[in-house]
C-alpha cells in the first residue's frame, strides 16, 4: 500500500492561556470527519478531529444491516486513495462482500482512523463559541481549545423526524430506526414499522428475521424497489453514461449529482427537485424476498397513537385499529442545524440558512467566517451526493484546498 506523504504541524500551545490552538477543528469522526482529517493531515495543516470514530454507524444503525450504497461508493477519502475498502479487506483478510455488511464498514472506518494518529481526539465537543479571531471549543471534560476554523461533520443524529401523532408515546414505545442497534430484543413482540424507505424496510426485514411480528405501514400507494430495471446497469459503456458509479438517484440524475460543483450552480428550486427525487423512499433489491412474509399495508397512515399500559393502540386512517408493543419510525430526518446542541443559538442565528440547512459557498464556507459544514447539512447547497459516503471525496478535496488557500 502506498503511504501518505505527511507533513504534520503540531498544534501550537498559546502561551499564557495554556490551551491548544489548532488551525482547524473538525467535529465528528464519521466518514466525513475522518476523510477531512486525512486530507488536512496530508496538507500539513494543524488540525484535530473530535469524536469517537464511526460512532453513529457502530451504535445507532440496526445490527445486521447491509449498506445500500455499492462498494465503490463506500470508500472513505484520503488524498492518495490508499485507504480504500479493498485495502482494508486485503490487510484484515476480510472476504469482500456485496452488499457490504455494516460491521465490515464500521471496522473499515476504525482502521482508516489510524492514519490520523494523534490528530484524532475521541472526546465529544460540548460547545463552540466565537473567540475573535476564531473559535473557542469546549470539550466534554471542560478543557478549552482554540481554533481559527471549525468544520461541522456531525451527521444527522439530531435530525430524526417524529410525526406529531406519536408524541404521546414513551421512548420505550416509539423509537427511530437508527436509534439503537439491538434488533433481537424485539423477538416475540408486535412491532409496527412506519415508512417506505430503506431504513423502514430493512428494519422490518431484520425484525422479522429476529422473530418479531411485524407490520409495515406505508403512506404511499405502493412500495418502490431500487434496481427494478437492473438490466440498465449491465449495458457496459452505455450504463456508465446513464449512471455514475455512486448510484445516487435515477437514470440521468445519477450522472448529474456526481458533479456537486455543477449542482451548486443550478437554481435552488430545481436543485431541490433533483435532491428530493434522488433520495425518494425506496428499498434495496435484496429486500422484497426477505419481506415476502411481512404484511405491508400501503396507502395508509396512522391517525392516532395512544399508550395503553405497556401497549400502543394505533388507529389508521381507514378506521382500523391495532395493538402493538412498539412503533419503529422510518420517517426520515429533517436537517436543522439549530438542533446541534454544541452550536449556541447566538452562533446559529448568524449562519445564513435555507430552512435549517446552512447556505454554503465554495469550500463549504458558511456565512460565519471560519465555520464550515460538510455531509448531509451541505446537501441543499451541493446536492444529494453529500448525504452519502460517496460525497466524502468531493467534500474533503474542496474543503481542504479552500482552507489551505485561506490559511496561506
Ligand atoms: C439507516 C441508514 C442507512 C444508511 N445507509 C447508507 C449507505 O448504505 N451508504 C451511504 O453512503 N450512506 C448511508 N446512510 C447515510 C449516512 O448517514 C451517511 O452517508 C454518513 O453517515 C455520513 O457521514 P457523516 O460523517 O456525515 O455522519 P455520521 O456517520 O453520522 O458521523 C457523524 C459523527 O459525528 C459525531 N458527533 C456528533 N456530535 C458530536 C460532537 N458534539 N462531538 C464529537 N462528535 C460528534 C457522531 O457521533 C457521529 O459519529 C445511511 C443512513 C441511515 C440513517
What is residue 12's predicted lDDT score, i.e. its pLDDT? 52
> 333 with 345: CB under 8 angstroms?
no
Dump pLDDT digits (tens) for 299-342.
999 999 999 999 999 999 999 999 999 999 999 999 999 999 99
Q: What is the mean pLDDT of the chain?
A: 92
CA distance 366 to 272: 19
Q: How much distance in Å is there from the Cα of 126 to the middle of ligand 1? A: 18
Over residues 386-407, the mean pLDDT reads 97
> 12 with 146: CB under 8 angstroms?
no
How many residues would you count in the chain?
Answer: 408
The phi-psi region of residue 70 (left if phi > 0; otherwise alpha if psi is between -120 and 50; otherwise beta) is beta
For ligand 1, mutation pick of 154, 183, 227, 377 (most atoms within 8 Å of CB): 154
pLDDT at residue 241 above 70?
Answer: no
Nearest CA to ligand 1 atom 2: 199
Q: How much distance in Å is there from the Cα of 183 to the middle of ligand 1? A: 19
Q: How much distance in Å is there from the Cα of 390 to the middle of ligand 1? A: 12
Q: Is 133 helix (H, G, I), strand (E, B) or coil?
A: coil
CA distance 379 to 377: 6
Over residues 367-392, the mean pLDDT reads 97
What is residue 1's predicted lDDT score, i.e. its pLDDT? 35
28 contact partners, CB below 8 Å, separation of at least 6:
49, 50, 51, 152, 153, 154, 155, 375
Q: How much distance in Å is there from the Cα of 129 to the middle of ligand 1? A: 24
pLDDT at residue 191 above 80?
Answer: yes
Q: Which is the closest atom of ligand 1 to the Cα of 156?
A: 30
Q: Which residues line ligand 1 (CB under 6 A)?
A: 27-33, 50-52, 55-57, 61, 67-69, 124-125, 153-157, 177-178, 199, 342, 375-376, 387-390
CA distance 11 to 17: 14
> 308 with 174: CB under 8 angstroms?
no
Residue 25: CB atoms within 10 Å: 26
The phi-psi region of residue 360 (left if phi > 0; otherwise alpha if psi is between -120 and 50; otherwise beta) is beta
More confident residue, 24 or 16: 24
Alpha helices in 321-391 (DSSP H): 345-348, 379-382
> 374 with 366: CB under 8 angstroms?
no
Q: Which is the closest atom of ligand 1 to the Cα of 203?
A: 1
For ligand 1, mutation pick of 39, 85, 156 (most atoms within 8 Å of CB): 156
The pTM for the full model equals 0.94
Q: How much distance in Å is there from the Cα of 33 to the middle of ligand 1? A: 10
Q: Which is the closest atom of ligand 1 to the Cα of 126?
A: 41
Q: How much distance in Å is there from the Cα of 57 to the middle of ligand 1? A: 6
**How large a percentage of the chain has pLDDT more than 90?**
85
Dump pLDDT digits (tens) for 23-62.
999 999 999 999 999 999 999 999 999 999 999 999 999 9
Q: Which residues pair with 311 in a beta bridge?
A: 308
Nearest CA to ligand 1 atom 3: 199
More confident residue, 163 or 239: 163
Q: How much distance in Å is there from the Cα of 344 to the middle of ligand 1? A: 22
The pLDDT confidence band at residue 249, using thresholds 50, 70 and 90, is confident
- Give the strand pairing for 47-50 and 120-121: parallel
| Strands (E) located in 213-271 | 213-217
What is residue 179's predicted lDDT score, i.e. its pLDDT? 87
Dump pLDDT digits (tens) for 96-109.
999 999 999 999 99
Half-sphere exposure of 397 (CA within 13 A, CB side): 13
Q: How much distance in Å is there from the Cα of 75 to the middle of ligand 1? A: 14
More confident residue, 235 or 360: 360
Whole-angstrom CA distances from 254 to 18, 232, 233, 262, 384 are 50, 13, 12, 13, 10
Tell me which H or E stretch contains 125.
strand 125-130
What is residue 233's predicted lDDT score, i.e. its pLDDT? 66
What is residue 52's predicted lDDT score, i.e. its pLDDT? 98
What is residue 235's predicted lDDT score, i.e. its pLDDT? 63
Dump pLDDT digits (tens) for 135-180.
999 999 999 999 999 999 999 999 999 999 999 999 999 999 988 7
What angle is formed at CA 275 by the lines to CA 274 and CA 276, rounded to 5 degrees?
95
What is residue 228's predicted lDDT score, i.e. its pLDDT? 62
pLDDT at residue 390 above 90?
Answer: yes
What CA dihedral angle connects 107, 333, 124 and 33, to 10 degrees? Answer: 50
What is residue 133's predicted lDDT score, i.e. its pLDDT? 87
Amino acid at each position: 500500500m502506498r503511504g501518505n506523504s505527511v507533513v504534520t504541524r503540531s498544534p501550537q500551545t498559546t502561551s499564557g492561556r495554556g490551551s491548544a490552538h489548532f488551525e482547524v477543528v473538525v467535529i465528528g469522526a464519521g466518514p466525513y470527519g475522518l476523510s477531512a482529517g486525512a486530507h488536512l493531515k496530508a496538507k500539513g495543516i494543524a488540525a484535530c478531529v473530535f469524536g469517537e470514530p464511526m460512532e453513529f454507524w457502530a451504535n445507532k444503525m440496526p445490527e445486521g444491516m447491509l449498506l445500500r450504497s455499492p462498494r465503490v461508493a463506500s470508500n472513505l477519502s484520503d488524498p492518495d486513495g490508499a485507504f480504500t475498502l479493498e485495502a482494508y479487506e486485503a490487510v484484515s483478510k476480510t472476504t469482500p462482500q456485496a452488499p457490504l455488511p455494516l460491521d465490515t464498514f464500521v471496522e473499515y472506518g476504525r482502521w482508516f482512523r489510524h492514519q490520523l494518529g494523534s490528530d484524532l481526539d475521541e472526546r465529544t465537543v460540548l460547545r463552540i463559541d466565537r473567540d475573535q479571531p476564531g473559535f473557542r471549543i469546549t470539550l466534554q471534560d471542560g478543557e478549552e481549545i482554540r481554533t481559527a476554523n471549525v468544520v461541522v461533520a456531525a451527521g444527522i443524529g439530531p435530525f430524526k423526524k417524529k410525526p406529531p401523532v406519536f408524541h404521546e408515546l414513551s421512548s420505550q414505545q416509539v423509537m427511530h430506526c437508527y436509534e439503537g442497534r439491538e434488533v433481537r430484543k424485539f423477538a416475540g413482540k408486535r412491532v409496527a414499522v412506519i415508512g417506505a424507505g430503506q431504513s423502514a424496510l430493512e428494519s422490518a426485514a431484520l425484525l422479522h428475521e429476529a422473530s418479531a411480528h411485524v407490520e409495515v405501514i406505508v403512506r404511499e400507494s405502493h412500495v418502490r424497489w431500487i434496481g427494478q430495471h437492473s438490466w440498465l446497469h449491465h449495458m457496459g459503456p452505455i450504463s456508465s453514461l446513464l449512471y455514475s458509479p455512486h448510484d445516487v438517484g435515477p437514470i440521468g440524475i445519477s450522472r448529474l449529482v456526481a458533479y456537486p460543483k455543477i449542482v451548486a450552480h443550478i437554481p435552488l428550486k430545481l436543485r431541490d427537485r433533483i435532491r428530493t427525487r434522488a433520495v425518494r423512499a425506496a428499498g434495496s433489491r435484496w429486500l422484497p424476498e426477505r419481506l415476502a412474509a411481512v404484511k405491508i399495508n400501503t396507502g395508509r397512515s396512522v391517525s392516532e397513537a395512544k399508550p395503553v399500559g405497556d401497549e400502543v393502540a394505533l388507529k389508521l386512517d381507514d378506521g382500523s385499529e391495532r395493538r402493538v408493543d412498539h412503533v419503529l419510525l422510518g420517517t426520515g430526518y429533517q436537517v436543522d442545524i439549530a438542533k446541534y446542541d454544541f452550536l449556541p443559538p447566538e452562533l446559529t442565528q448568524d449562519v445564513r440558512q435555507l430552512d435549517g440547512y446552512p447556505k454554503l459557498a465554495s469550500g463549504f464556507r458558511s456565512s460565519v467566517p471560519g465555520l464550515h459544514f460538510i455531509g448531509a447539512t451541505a446537501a441543499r447547497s451541493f446536492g444529494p451526493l453529500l448525504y452519502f459516503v460517496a460525497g466524502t471525496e468531493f467534500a474533503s478535496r474542496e474543503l481542504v484546498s479552500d482552507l489551505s488557500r485561506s490559511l496561506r
